[in-house]
Amino acid sequence: MVTLNMNGVDCHYGSIKILSNVSLEVKSGCFLGILGPNGSGKTTLLKSISRVLKPHGGSILINKEDIYTLKPRQVAQIMAVVPQHNDVGFNFSAMDVVLMGRNPHLGNFQMENAKDVEIAQNVMKLTNTWCLADRPINELSGGEAQRVIIARALAQQPKILLLDEPMSHLDIINQIELMDLIKNLCTKNGLAVLAVIHDLNMASRYCDMLLLLKDGTVSALGPVEEVMTTENIQNVFGVNSIIRKNPLTNSPYVIPLSPKKPSEEKNYSIHIICGAGTGTLLLKYFHDEGYNVSAGVLNNADSDFETCELLKILSISDPPFSAITNKAYEANLTMIKNANMVILTAVPFGLGNVKNIEAAIDAAKCGISTYVIDETPIEERDFTSGQAAVSLMRQLKEHGAIFVKDLTELLLALKK
């Protein structure tokens, strides 16, 4: 077991303070992702832990021992580092580079033995670099060289692994294989990992804990679900986002939103009847174009409701798992009557939300331009025993609602 502690660490480059009062704790089996904008101090944090940059204040401890009191060989037996830039001065073979990771475990002038070669071979197989063993390191692609350097770090058999942008130069399959490997080493071998990661969703998927740095200070630190929030992302990166649950990994999934384009406010109101995420793109598009946008009726755990909250779009909502109340239905009709256009998305309908179709029918009856996105046939998303499919959708057509296949066709129809 190993525990790494940073206690109130300050780091400077000359007179410029880069890190201020950073404290954290990482134990065996923990995968900590370090995130933040460029210049926030991520690489400096790793440099301070790896003894490249001695802090001006605070302490860094491994199992309660200050790392700056340990000998370099002692630290190298516990900790391995994969830096951001991995220039190898001489054109060694990939195998020779990986064997360099065994140096902390060798005595002075001692050569590698069969056990060291076996360890190097095993980590090269783990990192999918064994096929590169005889090739000169300087003739490898950036991604291949990156995997060799990671294999070298693993050859040290460290208890703590520091990674500075480990996925740089790697294509998507190698990124996933690498992150799977590191996560497996954390879970099964008890490796403690601190990694600087730029991909928010990769960090959410693989990390146990996240550290958000902003201007050299800790903005947020804790379990992934507590740290990866729209508020934290806005505060640290200055980006609006929508957070969803990845249905396969159950981890937060971040959808960053483009900054709102400067546009004149349009004296035109669009009411969107949506739900289950079917309205998010429409809400964002018309909001950014400067229209007065509203939505309803949504349940207040719905992803479209979250989008409305984020974009400050007025919406009508009810509690989750409850049918649309008369109060919400009447409020929805009021919004509709104040709109110039109503759009009904391809939302699944059950007895609880079928009143939303009735509201769209009311809009069409009143002569309000009403569009229905029929991307998924109603028969495939009707859970009302035919009530929505047979009766209400027919009434919408009878009262002049315009049916379109998808968002693209909708926008083309609006331009006409």
- CATH code at 306? 3.40.50.720
Do the domain assignments include residue 400?
A: yes
Residue 279 and residue 378 in one domain? yes
CA distance 115 to 112: 8
Q: Which two tokens stand for residue 305?
A: 């409701």
Q: What is the pLDDT of residue 141?
A: 86
Q: 248 in a domain, yes or no?
A: no
Which residue shows structure tokens 């001065």?
89
Distances 24 to 34, 57, 209, 215, 335 between C-alpha atoms, Å: 11, 15, 11, 17, 50
Please give the tally of structural domains in the chain.
2
Cβ atoms of residues 51 and 72 within 8 Å? yes
Return the structure tokens found at 382.
Answer: 């009707």
**Structural domain includes residue 252:** no
Res 264: pLDDT = 60
Boundaries of domain holding 332: 269-415
> Which ranges constitute the DSSP H helices of 40-113?
42-49, 72-78, 94-99
Geometric angle at alpha carbon 280, from 276 and 281, rounded to 5° = 135
Residue 111 maps to which CATH number? 3.40.50.300
- Cα(190)–Cα(158) distance, rounded to whole angstroms? 10
Residue 387 included in any domain: yes
Same domain, 97 and 229: yes
pLDDT of residue 301: 85
Whether residue 108 sits in one domain with residue 224: yes
pLDDT of residue 411: 85
Identify the burial level of 5 via C-beta atoms within 10 angstroms of its C-beta, where 0-12 means exposed, 13-18 middle and 19 or more buried.
Answer: middle
CB distance 36 to 227 below 8 Å: no
Tell me the two tokens of residue 275.
């739900």
- Kindly state whether residue 282 falls inside one of the protein's structural domains: yes
| Domain end (from 242, 277, 298) | 242
pLDDT by position in tens, the chain (length 416): 899 999 999 999 988 999 999 999 999 999 999 999 999 999 999 999 999 999 999 999 999 999 999 999 999 999 999 988 766 667 889 999 999 999 988 877 778 889 999 999 999 998 989 999 999 988 888 888 888 999 999 999 999 999 999 888 888 988 998 899 999 999 989 999 999 999 999 999 999 999 999 999 999 999 999 999 989 999 999 988 888 888 788 899 888 876 665 556 678 999 999 999 899 889 988 988 889 999 999 998 888 998 898 888 999 999 988 899 999 999 999 999 999 999 999 999 988 899 999 999 999 999 999 999 988 888 888 888 877 777 888 899 999 999 999 888 888 888 77
Pair (46, 87) in one structural domain: yes
Tokens of 12: 């400077």
| C-alpha dihedral sign at 357, 359, 363, 369 | negative
User: Within this chain, do residues 365 and 327 fall inside the same structural domain, yes or no?
Assistant: yes
The dihedral of CA 406, 303, 394, 337: what is its sign? negative
CB atoms within 10 A of CB 167: 20
Q: Could you give the dihedral angle defined by the CA atoms of residues 169, 171, 174 and 175, in that order, rounded to the nearest 10 degrees?
A: 80
Pull the structure tokens for residue 125: 């197989």
Place of tokens 């880069």: 18
Contact between 399 and 365 (Cβ < 8 Å)? yes
Domain-ending residue, one of 242, 258, 284: 242
Question: Is residue 235 located within the same domain as residue 281?
Answer: no
Residue 27 to residue 193: CA distance in whole angstroms: 9
365: in domain: yes
Residues 309 and 162 in one domain: no
Q: How far is CA 345 from CA 146, 331, 375, 401, in A?
A: 46, 19, 8, 13
Asked if the structure places residue 258 within a domain, the reply is no
pTM of this prediction exceeds 0.75:
no
Looking at residue 174, its pLDDT comes to 86
Say how far apart CA 143 and CA 265 lie, in whole Å.
47
How far, in whole angstroms, is CA 93 from its chain's centroid?
36
For residues 139 and 18, membership in a common domain is answered with: yes
Q: Are 200 and 291 within one domain?
A: no
Structure-token match 């206690």, residue found: 7
327 and 214 in one domain? Answer: no
- What is the C-alpha separation between 174 and 157, in angstroms, rounded? 21
Is the same domain home to 356 and 311? Answer: yes
Residue 372's SS3 state is strand
Shared domain check, 206 and 291: no
Which residue among 242, 261, 295 closes a domain?
Answer: 242
251 is a domain residue? no
